[in-house]
Amino acid sequence: MTLNLGVLASGRGSNLGAILRAEAQGELPARVAVVIGDRPGAGALDVARRQGVPAFCIEPGRDGRVAYEARIVSCLERHGVDLVCLAGFMRVVGPALLGRYPGRILNIHPSLLPAFPGRGAQRQAWEHGVKVTGCTVHFVDEGVDTGPIILQRAVAVGEEDDPEALAARILQEEHAAYPEAIRLLAEGRLTIAGRRVIVAAPGSGGEGGARCGGLY
């Protein structure tokens, strides 16, 4: 079964690009069915359109978060989306989206959570003086960067690093981590058990990530 992905983004879209590359190389039992940006200038919309992927700008209005998310959900549903991937989407997801896609929303964050949640994680880590940081792919819950962790990749912080150089190396790891997490879910190898995500061995998964649906 091929999973239909809906990618939500606010920024340049390099993680979207990495997911599309993995898809093109046949590394994912998944395809990006639609990309939604929350502002017209989101580079991710151009990344999508260049690849012929349907892309829509859905901006928040005065109607509040529930109505805003209802508009997003209706676009995702129109494109048959099974799994929502937040890729630099600068908004906290609320009950309307979470309720429609339980256990089916992922996020990528540029730190080793639970350290340095929220914005500017790479700079936060550098300012704190940690020797190791990295990136995390996790299920989304109602908190900010708090959901169960699927996988993490570490990046050493060098003496010569500045926040920009560090962020660039973390981004390289993000581009490997996000497609890998999507593949694990699409192969049905992820089970959420409380705060823990159990990753099954290859070949032992169910169909299309069925284990995650409804568990969350």
- What are the residue numbers of the active site? 109
Regarding 124 and contact with ligand GRF (CB under 6 A), the answer is no
Please state whether beta strands 132-139 and 83-86 pair in parallel, antiparallel, or not at all (unpaired): unpaired
- Name the residue with tokens 């502002």: 39
Cβ contacts of 7 within 8 Å, gap of 6 or more: 16, 19, 32, 34, 35, 36, 44, 48, 84, 85, 86, 87
Minimum distance from CB of 13 to ligand GRF (Å)?
A: 5
Instruction: Specify the amino acid at residue 107.
Output: N
Read off the tokens for 38: 């929350």
> Taking CB under 6 A as the rule, which mask of x and - marks residues 27-56 in contact with ligand GRF?
-----------------x------------
Nearest residue (CB) to ligand GRF, 133 versus 205: 133
Nearest residue (CB) to ligand GRF, 70 versus 141: 141
Minimum distance from CB of 168 to ligand GRF (Å)?
A: 10
Minimum distance from CB of 90 to ligand GRF (Å)?
A: 8
Which residue in the set 6, 15, 45, 125 belongs to the binding site for ligand GRF (CB under 6 A)?
15
Regarding 113 and contact with ligand GRF (CB under 6 A), the answer is no
Question: Which of helix, strand or coil describes residue 178?
Answer: helix
> Taking CB under 6 A as the rule, which mask of x and - marks residues 129-148 in contact with ligand GRF?
--------------------
Give the interface segment with ligand GRF, choosing from 4-12, 24-32, 75-83, 190-198 (CB under 6 A). 4-12
Strands (E), the chain: 3-9, 30-37, 55-57, 83-86, 105-109, 132-139, 149-156, 190-193, 196-199
> Taking CB under 6 A as the rule, which mask of x and - marks residues 154-193 in contact with ligand GRF?
-----------------x--x-------------------
Minimum distance from CB of 40 to ligand GRF (Å)?
A: 15
Cβ contacts of 198 within 8 Å, gap of 6 or more: 190, 191, 192
131-155 exposure pattern, b = at least 16 Cβ within 10 A, e = fewer? eebbbbbbbbbeeebebbbbbbbeb
Read off the tokens for 82: 């099974």
Q: What residues make contact with ligand GRF under the rule CB under 6 A?
A: 9, 11-15, 44, 87-88, 108-110, 171, 174
